[in-house]
Amino acid sequence: MLRWKLKKSVPFEADETIISYMRQAPREDGVDIVTALARLRIVREYEGLAEGVGLFPGVVMSSSLAAITLLDDRQPTLLARVSGLALTTAIVREGVLCGYRCTELPAQNVDLTPQMLLEEIFPVAAYYQDTWREGIQSVRVAGLGHRLPDFVGPLEDEFKCEVRSLLHSAVSEGRVPEDAHGLADREADGLVGWMLHRN
């Protein structure tokens, strides 16, 4: 059924797609399903890399989905994760993924401005505020490295809440195990999130 429902919105043939899904608590009555999909040939490339060094790939997961595990979701929290030209914006609240969007940024990290980032984040934030009738109460950012301070002020002005590094806040709140601190120091949020997710 999911394959049929997604057929019109996927930019490649549904038969070439691997679909993974999970049920989550609905906002109102009904059923909410979080669905992840990928092209089969791309997943096979990742699996082939692991197999080439004698490993058996058990799970292939988006690094952004893995990084969501690092969020403290007791309040509505927005994640803005930059990786090259890709931006993932997600909003979580009490274990529920309330919004998720991947877009291409108009500039690389070094040329990215706070206004450019805000323009890409805004549609997900506006959707959340309209649908859930509440504001974002926390913002976490990943992938900006030493440029993060340039973005904190404009993001705090827009969302009227605390803006912090995803990994630094997770480490300071004690949610990152000691054996993952080296990965956190290297800004490997996807790997750190996966370590938490598998537990």
Whether residues 44 and 137 fall in one domain: no
Q: Are residues 24 and 91 in the same domain?
A: no
> Are residues 95 and 176 part of one domain?
yes
Cβ 77 vs Cβ 137: under 8 Å: yes
How many domains are there within the chain? 2
pLDDT digits (tens, 9 = 90+) for 31-77: 888 888 889 999 999 999 999 999 998 888 889 999 999 998 899 99
Q: What is the mean pLDDT of residues 67-96?
A: 94
Do residues 46 and 68 share a domain? no
Residue 183: what pLDDT?
85
pLDDT at 199: 54
Q: Are residues 43 and 113 in the same domain?
A: no
Residues 34, 72: one domain? no
Q: What is the pLDDT of residues 107-118, one digit of tens each?
A: 988 899 999 999
Q: State whether 47 and 96 are in the same domain.
A: no
pLDDT exceeds cutoff 90 at 180: no
Distant-in-sequence, close-in-space partners of 97: CB < 8 Å, separation ≥ 6: 24, 34, 68, 90, 91
Kindly state whether residues 140 and 199 are assigned to the same domain: yes
How crowded is residue 88: how many other Cβ atoms within 10 Å of its Cβ?
A: 22
- Give bridge partners of residue 162 from the DSSP assignment: 138
CATH at 41: 3.30.1490
The residue out of 60, 89, 108 marking a domain boundary is 60
Instruction: Tell me, yes or no, whether 134 and 152 share the same domain.
Output: yes
Residue 109 shares a structural domain with residue 56? no
Span 173-197, average pLDDT: 86
Last residue of a domain, which of 23, 42, 60? Answer: 60
Q: Are residues 183 and 98 in the same domain?
A: yes
Tokens of 123: 């549609």
- The tokens describing 68, both together, are 């969501």
Q: What is the band of 98 on the pLDDT scale with cuts at 50, 70, 90?
A: very high
Looking up residue 170, the CATH number of its domain turns out to be 3.30.420.40
Is the domain of 54 the same as that of 68? no
Domain that holds residue 25: 1-60
- DSSP assignment letter at 139: E
Helices (H) and strands (E) in the chain, counts: 8, 7
